Amino acid sequence: MDPVIQLDKVKFAWQDKAVLNIEHWQVEKGQKVFLYGPSGSGKSTLLNLLCGILTPQEGSIRVLSQELSSIRAGARDRFRARHIGVIFQQFNLLPYLSVRQNILLAAHFGRTESVEPDHLQQITDQLQLNSAMLERKAGELSVGQQQRVAVARALFNHPEIIIADEPTSALDSELRDQFVDLLLQCCDRNQASVVFVSHDKSLAGHFDQQQSLSELNCVTKEQVC
């Protein structure tokens, strides 16, 4: 079976500052990968490459066997909306929209509006978001509630891959552990592979694979790969 993500000889620089040089990396179907690295090591840059938001100067990034650079920009946005659920550090919810509207934005961007009527209910039940909360404005929610809404939105289109960029940094350690457990349970139920990046190694035990970005990245290893 093909990996869900495969990188080969990927190089990325911001202007003339080399940030990533990855010889090879892959994620298998169903795998839950914890990718850790200190601040500034290139985690967000890598996630943006995996999502097709950024394009590497060299190398190949294949997601679900599709070479991302061969897809035109508009089609790449749709590909991302349908196949990759992204949970951002700051969640990126629209504060003036209700929780329901925020979650349904996923259907709008993925052009999957014709979903089964009880799908929203199933996803929100999994994330312990009750019906009263669905009508509240996202901007009125606690950080923990916003996180669960961000996960519901990320899972809404049944993506094969969930990418999470340090979505736990605002929580204390007990809530952080609870959140990661809930996220991984929901991804299991939805058969999604997970790439979760963080600088906080204490979360590593929740995942079935841990990977240090500094070890993967020839730029930080300061060696010729």
Ligand X SMILES: Nc1ncnc2c1ncn2[C@@H]1O[C@H](COP(=O)(O)OP(=O)(O)OP(=O)(O)O)[C@@H](O)[C@H]1O
Q: Which residues lie near ligand X (CB under 6 A)? A: 14, 19, 37, 39-45, 199
Q: How many CA atoms lie within 13 A of 171 on its CB side?
A: 22
Closest to ligand X by CB, 86 or 127: 86
Rounded to the nearest whole angstrom, what is the least distance from the CB of residue 49 to ligand X in the complex?
10
Q: In the complex with ligand X, which residue's Cβ is closer, 156 or 196?
A: 196
* Nearest distance from C-beta of residue 184 to ligand X, angstroms: 21
Q: How far is the CB of 48 from ligand X (least distance, A)?
A: 8
Least distance (Å) between residue 19 CB and ligand X: 5
| Beta carbons within 8 Å of 130's beta carbon, 6+ residues apart | 124
The residue (of 84 and 127) whose beta carbon lies closer to ligand X is: 84
Which of residues 20 and 133 has its CB atom nearest to ligand X in the complex? 20
Cα(81)–Cα(61) distance, rounded to whole angstroms? Answer: 17
* Chain centroid to CA 213: 16
Hey, which residues does 183 pair with through a beta bridge?
none
| Inter-CA distances, 55 with 52, 66, 124, 128, Å | 6, 14, 34, 36
